[in-house]
A and B are shown apart, each in its own frame.
Chain A
Amino acid sequence: MATPTYDLIVSSTVATLTTSVTFSSLPSTGYQDLVVVINGTAETESFIRPRFNSDSGNNYSMVRMEGNTAGNTESTSSASASDMIWGKLEDNNGLIIAQIFDYLATDKHKSLLVRSNAVQEKVEAFALRYASTSAISSIEIRGTGTGLEAGTLISIYGIAA
Chain B
Amino acid sequence: MMRGPFARRLAVAAVAFSVAAGALVGLAFLAGASPVDTLRALVEGAAGSRAALGETLARATALVLTALGASIAFRAGVLNIGLEGQFLAGAVAAAAIGPAFSGSPFAARLALLGAAALAGALWVLPAAWLASRRGVPEVLSTILLNLVAAAAVSGLVRGALQDPAGDYPQSRALAEAVRFAPLVAGSRATAAILIALAVSLVLALVLGKTPFGLKLRATGLAPAAARAIGLPGARLRLIAFATSGALAGLAGGLEVLAVTGRLYDPFSAGAGYTGIAAALLGGSNPLVAAASAVLFAGLGAGSSAMQRDTGVPGALATIVPGVLVLAVLAARARQTGNEP
Whether A and B are associated in the same complex: the answer reads no
What is the interface of chain B, defined by CB distance below 8 A to chain A? none
What is the interface of chain A, defined by CB distance below 8 A to chain B? none
